Amino acid sequence: MPDSYESSMSYMGSLGIPITDIQELCKAQYIEWHKKRLHGLLAHPLLNEDVPSVVVFPEGSIPVDCLKMLHDFAKSTRTTVVAGSHTILGSIEAKQVYSMLGKEKTLAKPHTHSGDVTFIFVQDKIHHQKKQGVSPFDRTDLTSLIRPSITLHPLPIPIGNSTLRMVSLVCADALQLPKIKGDYDIVSVISYDPDPSHFKSFIGTQVENSRIVIYCNDGKFGGSSINLPLDRRPTSWFFEQPLSGHLPQGDALLIIDVPVGELATQVGVHAPKAQREVKFLASITYEGSVVGDQEVSKELCKIKNISNNQVRNSRLASLLGKHTYNHNQGHRLDLLHELSRTGVDADDVWAAYGLDLVLDLPGLVDLEAKFAKVCDEKLTQQLIEGDLESQGVERLQAFLRECKSRISVLGETESLIRVEQPAIPDAYINREDEIAKMLSFLDSRNEFLMEVSSLAQMGKSATIEKALARTGFKRIKRILLLTTSSVEYILAEIFGEAKGPVAMPIPGSEFTAELQQAIKEWDVLWFENCQELLVSGQWKSGEIQSLINNIVSIVQEETI
């Protein structure tokens, strides 16, 4: 998405620049990608096990081409789906979709205020709700000074054996005191708003009147939440600081189970009933993305299966130290790291907070980079040969600069967990003598162990990174050692997979075949912060000394 309208292809078109073919090409590829993305999301087991009764997507997130997919999902799972919103279209393809949904004649009627509509699929029933209010971004020079009156009608939705009534609002409709005909239990609000706090007052009023409010904002901005009257007595991680029940930026899936008809806080009761259960909070990441947070998702899945909490804690600490996680993952990593430290990260905690949804697709940033490359290739010639006025030339130049900045991410995909080569600070670039010595060591067939030491913050890691970057080594294992690092943690890192404690090699005995084979899997073993294995110049334990001695002996034997 462009940061401003003047950075969009539509604006380029208004200046007489031919962009229709490019728009159609990008749209076709985006729709194909988005359908696969939705299919991957809707296939998640928790969305197919009678857990969700209401599923809500944000404003502008569901193109008309994807409506049938959501309708089929609502019918097959007996779910209510608020299918985002889109601008009502007059194309042949759009009319075919509206006709199939039985809404062609209704949507063909002119609308006084706005052309946006959201579809609500209640199992096999189809409803639609036009956006009635006008947000500041929808206004033009011809917008009437008279604010239209907004009247909404609740829809009956079945949940289990009960029938509740839900009101669906599109963005600005929630900010203009809508008149709601009849009683209702649930409110859904969808938006594409850089500042979700705009809806805080409306949500607060509804919650104080014992209604559930599902607020779904675009992941670009975050702030989505499922709101209900909260009993503050139970311990809550998600509904307290720093999240306070709101999703951070980024694609995410949040599922919360709320018992129907039991929202009021129970007082004077020895064992009050639970008001909510967080079933799932996950990032949606992408296998083919340059962002790298998908590697965190995969590593989390491995850590979940480790039986020893000390090993889990060390692996989580290592993952936090790599800073490749997104906002959502960062909060959950902090929680899991703290709970694993005391051994209380139970299976239900990991089931709710320890898993992500990784889709086998490129990410949105990668898709946009490919589209930017198409624009750059096709419009650069237009800049050179096109008969454009000065304003058109200036805007096209700005647009192409934006394209080039997005193209730069193409081809940067790499494993950020197994092979880590982060950017090197400029202050540490001119270390050619040290780098030359490291390269000489790495080229040697006889030397197998090198110690790199200096005062803190002198650029040791950056120098090693630059040296390794000049080699052909790909299988590099960087093991970050912390105060809590145990023998089990070091072994688990060397094995490169989620294992529990591995049998310790005993000094003087024949080396275990498993450890020998694991070490052969790596070109370079890099132990960072080795001082963490010492106390007053001595090994912290005999087990650590034994392990290090055996690793050195195995490597030495292989070198000879």
| pLDDT recorded at residue 429 | 43
Average pLDDT over residues 7-35: 89
| pLDDT recorded at residue 262 | 62
Place of tokens 């789906």: 81
Report whether pLDDT(308) > 60.
yes
Report whether pLDDT(337) > 90.
yes
Among 209, 150, 153, which residue's Cα sits nearest to residue 181?
A: 153
* Per-residue pLDDT tens over the stretch 365-374: 899 899 999 8
Long-range contacts of 181-185 (CB under 8 A, 24+ apart): 181/151, 181/152, 181/153, 181/154, 182/153, 182/154, 183/154, 184/154, 184/211, 185/211, 185/212
| pLDDT recorded at residue 109 | 72
* Per-residue pLDDT tens over the stretch 279-292: 999 999 999 898 88
The answer to whether the CB of 320 falls within 8 A of the CB of 347 is no
Strand order of the sheet with strand 357-359? 252-257, 277-286, 357-359
| pLDDT recorded at residue 148 | 65
| pLDDT recorded at residue 324 | 87
Query: pTM for the full model?
Result: 0.72
Alpha-carbon span 334 to 227, nearest angstrom? 24
| pLDDT recorded at residue 141 | 67
| pLDDT recorded at residue 426 | 40
Alpha-carbon span 396 to 383, nearest angstrom? 7
Place of tokens 């009608």: 153
| pLDDT recorded at residue 30 | 93
Average pLDDT over residues 494-502: 58
Residue 214 C-alpha from the chain's centroid: 20
Q: 26: which residues sit within 8 A by CB, 6+ positions away?
A: 9, 371, 374
Helices (H) and strands (E) in the chain, counts: 17, 19
| pLDDT recorded at residue 116 | 86
The answer to whether the CB of 43 falls within 8 A of the CB of 358 is no
Average pLDDT over residues 318-334: 91
| pLDDT recorded at residue 51 | 67
Report whether pLDDT(506) > 70.
no
Average pLDDT over residues 82-111: 87
Report whether pLDDT(498) > 90.
no
Could you tell me the two tokens for 129? Answer: 């709700």
* Per-residue pLDDT tens over the stretch 374-389: 888 888 888 877 777 7
| pLDDT recorded at residue 135 | 63
Count of alpha carbons within 13 angstroms of residue 361, beta-carbon side: 21
Give me the DSSP letters along 473-519.
---EEEEE--TT--HHHHHHHHHTS---PPPPPPTTSPPPHHHHHHH
- Please indicate whether residue 521 or residue 42 has the higher confidence score (pLDDT): 42
Report whether pLDDT(502) > 60.
no
Return the number of other C-beta atoms located less than 10 Å from residue 236's C-beta: 15
Alpha-carbon span 469 to 463, nearest angstrom? 10
Q: Which amino acid is at 10?
A: S
| pLDDT recorded at residue 417 | 32
* Per-residue pLDDT tens over the stretch 385-439: 777 777 778 888 888 888 888 887 775 543 333 333 334 344 334 567 788 888 8
Average pLDDT over residues 502-514: 56
The answer to whether the CB of 181 falls within 8 A of the CB of 151 is yes
Q: In the structure, what pLDDT confidence band is assigned to residue 507 with cuts at 50, 70 and 90?
A: very low
Report whether pLDDT(319) > 50.
yes
Please state, rounded to an integer, the average pLDDT across all residues of the chain: 83
* Per-residue pLDDT tens over the stretch 445-456: 788 888 888 776
* Per-residue pLDDT tens over the stretch 140-195: 665 666 666 778 889 999 988 889 999 999 888 888 777 888 899 999 999 999 99
